[in-house]
Amino acid sequence: MHILIFEASPNTDGLTAACAAAAAEGVSAAGGCFERIPLAERYLTRCNQCDDGWGGCRSIHHCDGSDDDFEELHGALMGTDGLVLVTPVYWGDMSESMKAFTDRLRRCEATLGEQSRLFGKPVLLVAAAGGGGGGMISCLANMERWVQHVRALPWDMIGIKRITREVKLATIRASAEAMVRAHQG
């Protein structure tokens, strides 16, 4: 089983990266393979809200509005069996790179219904917050809504903050392992 792990912090040794590493360990422990994609290092622009706001992507199911890395990442979803999305919590929401990527992906896939590239694929959602952890729930709620829109399967939603780091890293590892075991053929 192949899992794409999207991580969306500019800090390569921060909490988000530790969560992505824990998820990767879990995938490997179940015999799966993974690719980690650091979104903050990629060139991703926000949705251009083309035409009257609905955009041509609603009917052609890809984005021809920006010459950036989006379509390369979008194409990578064809060959994957599941996703892990790990974002730092910024302002009670996903970070800007995760938001830009998931906003545009939703526009391309949501109107495909059961033909969505993500239909039925399990997704592990992780929100990595700071000391207080405020806004972790609203961040996870927004990610959950995204999973519903693209018709994927919300496998698990995990919030983590600095003082719960060790126990939640173990939880992420175990959840990623269980996700792969539950979905491999």
Ligand X SMILES: Cc1cc2nc3c(=O)[nH]c(=O)nc-3n(C[C@H](O)[C@H](O)[C@H](O)COP(=O)(O)O)c2cc1C
Count other Cβ atoms within 10 Å, centred on residue 59. Answer: 8
90 is a site residue for ligand X (CB under 6 A)? yes
91 is a site residue for ligand X (CB under 6 A)? yes
State the burial class of residue 38 (Cβ atoms within 10 Å of its Cβ: 0-12, 13-18, 19+). middle
The two structure tokens encoding residue 13: 């040794």
Q: Which of 103, 133, 144, 174 binds ligand X (CB under 6 A)?
A: 133
What minimum distance in Å lies between the beta carbon of 128 and ligand X? Answer: 5
Is the Cβ of residue 9 or residue 116 nearer to ligand X in the bound state? 9
Q: Which of 23, 24, 57, 89 binds ligand X (CB under 6 A)?
A: 89
143 is a site residue for ligand X (CB under 6 A)? no
Instruction: Provide the 8-state DSSP code for 90.
Output: B
Give me the residues that bind ligand X (CB under 6 A), please.
9, 11, 14-17, 88-92, 128-130, 132-135
